[in-house]
Amino acid sequence: MGKLFGFLEYGRELPPDRDPVERVNDWNEIHGLLPKEEEKRQAARCMSCSVPFCHSGMMIAGMSSGCPLGNLIPEWNDLLCRGEWEAAAQRLMLTNSFPEFTGRVCPAPCEGACTCGIHQPQVTIRQNELSIIENAFADGNVQPRPPASRSGRRVAVVGSGPAGLACANRLNRCGHSVTVLERSDRVGGLLTYGIPNMKLDKRVVARRVELMRNEGVTFRTGCHVGVDLPAEALLETFDAVVLCPGSGRPRDLEVPGRKGPGVVFALDYLTAATRAVLDGPESLPESLDARGKHVVVIGGGDTGTDCVGTALRQGCRSVRQLEIMPRPPLARSAQNPWPEFPRVLKVDYAQREATARFGSDPRQYLTQTREILREGNGVCAVRTEEVSWDTGANGRMTARARPGTSQKWPADLVLIAMGFTGPEDTLIQAYGLTQNARGGVMTDDFMTVRRGVFAAGDMRIGQSLVVRAIDEGQRAAKACHAYLAAL
């Protein structure tokens, strides 16, 4: 371990975020890096505990505990503490294909399982990870590493989100010729169009994609498999196909007034906003522009939060975020012990920005949408009721409306951010795949019922974290490589 009892000597420190009043005027990233010497001190807080739960990667109570990738966190923290930056980067990239992504957008289940976090603020694992990889890029230690030889096998990876990119990256390094097929106009999937630029600068995604190109991966955009290109044609051209298109079917809201202009799915809104950042504001339709509008976001998760941050940058008149669940506690409850992922109140970047702009947190807890009110050709308000959660006879929690709590919120634009219900049907029907009760594609060691066709990521496990998608892609690549080696 780098420094004995460093966790007692140093406190947890993160780089200061950009001022929320200023940053809502642009789309630049809001977080930064610490100076190298301070980063070494933060790494010195790692206890190098004998049982490092931080990289356990377990699922407890339905949530990730520890790093799903099995990142060797105590090892690269020790190297970072000693100032061995290049060795730390090599150790980090041994398990994680894209630490520059997870270091920015991962909710850090590793930190929730940090042993130091039982009695003190946990180690800044995610920030250390980001510092290691960004300094590795800056120092020229991340260079293209094409395979020494090719296997003669060809693989098609459908979808270029985190699972697809991770799978393509690993298969290419095994020597297979990999082609990534993306239906959108840019590579990256949700990394490009699902996560706003202020959280993940698209130049970071482009930097990795260019690196993979230089290593031999081929990318084809504007190619919708099953629509533009028959799915069966892939099996005639490639030795294996790995499906990583994500879980793209959004959960809808069935209330009066839902249909019609002014009500938009969150991903459509975020995609249009990012495209306007990349292509110019003239590409943004007026219907997806929050400028001067009252915005209501239905959904309290990360996607809803990103909608709030995006609406603020577009110049909304007001913004509210409706959440049907109760407000989380400030500290772990007895029902949420360590090392479970801490279900505690998180004030994210967009809530801080909304508070700075409008004077209060935009979230309204225990609030259920009952009706979307319309006037003329658009939306004018959202009617809600407060709810309470009661335990039914079957032991399941049920939301019950509280009489006399009806309220109207002014709205010109309503964004539905209620998650996703499963993958789209196109590829499932084309290959005759089977699904489980939750809509995920069923596999045996990542291979579907169709020989030579694999599935990974959200398509297989349902909507999840970027870090789990990367893990899915890497493990699918291992299974696919074994299949190709046996041909």
What span, in angstroms and rounded, lies between the C-alpha atoms of 303 and 264? 13
Q: Is residue 146 part of a domain?
A: no
Q: Is residue 66 part of a domain?
A: yes
CATH, residue 18? 1.10.1060.10
The DSSP call for residue 282 is G
Q: What pLDDT was estimated at residue 2?
A: 67
If asked whether residues 457 and 404 sit together in one domain, one would say: no
If asked whether residues 369 and 449 sit together in one domain, one would say: no
If asked whether residues 266 and 228 sit together in one domain, one would say: no
Domain boundary among 399, 418, 437: 418
What span, in angstroms and rounded, lies between the C-alpha atoms of 440 and 438? 6
Q: Is residue 293 part of a domain?
A: yes
If asked whether residues 405 and 260 sit together in one domain, one would say: yes
Share the mean pLDDT of the chain: 96
Strand 413-416 and strand 397-401: the pairing is unpaired
If asked whether residues 90 and 187 sit together in one domain, one would say: no
What span, in angstroms and rounded, lies between the C-alpha atoms of 296 and 349? 18
Structure tokens of 111? 């930190």
- The angle subtended at Cα 314 by Cα 363 and Cα 300, nearest 5°, is 20
What span, in angstroms and rounded, lies between the C-alpha atoms of 292 and 282? 17
* CB-based contact 381:365 (threshold 8 Å): no
If asked whether residues 407 and 458 sit together in one domain, one would say: no
Number of domains in the chain: 3
Range of the domain at 328: 252-418
Cis peptide preceding 339, ω within 30 of 0:
yes
If asked whether residues 369 and 259 sit together in one domain, one would say: yes
The 10s digit of each residue's pLDDT in 119-166 is: 999 999 999 999 999 999 999 999 999 999 999 999 999 999 999 999
If asked whether residues 292 and 204 sit together in one domain, one would say: no
If asked whether residues 359 and 333 sit together in one domain, one would say: yes
Domain boundary among 400, 418, 436: 418
Q: Is residue 13 part of a domain?
A: yes
If asked whether residues 131 and 11 sit together in one domain, one would say: yes
Q: Is residue 143 part of a domain?
A: no
What span, in angstroms and rounded, lies between the C-alpha atoms of 367 and 407? 10
* CB-based contact 109:62 (threshold 8 Å): no
Tokens 């995920």 sit at which residue?
A: 440
If asked whether residues 361 and 317 sit together in one domain, one would say: yes
Selection from 346, 372, 371 nearest residue 361 by Cα: 346
Q: Is residue 125 part of a domain?
A: yes
Q: What pLDDT was estimated at residue 3?
A: 83
The 10s digit of each residue's pLDDT in 307-331 is: 999 999 999 999 999 999 999 999 9
CATH, residue 284? 3.50.50.60
The DSSP call for residue 251 is P
Q: Is residue 145 part of a domain?
A: no
Q: What pLDDT was estimated at residue 393?
A: 76
Q: What interhelical angle do 73-81 and 36-44 show, nearest 10? A: 130
The DSSP call for residue 286 is G
From residue 85, how far is each of 72, 134, 173, 424 by CA, in Å? Answer: 15, 10, 23, 43
Q: Which residues of the chain have pLDDT under 70?
A: 1-2
* CB-based contact 369:361 (threshold 8 Å): no
Q: Counting beta carbons within 10 angstroms of the beta carbon of residue 123, is it exposed (0 to 12), middle (13 to 18) or buried (19 or more)?
A: buried
**Percent of the chain's residues with pLDDT above 90:** 94
If asked whether residues 384 and 348 sit together in one domain, one would say: yes
For every residue of 324-370, which 3-state class applies, written as one string? CCCCCCCCCCCCCCCCCCCCCCCCCHHHHHHHHHHCCCCEECCEEEE
Domain boundary among 105, 138, 171: 138
Count the Cβ atoms, other than its own, within 10 Å of residue 485: 11
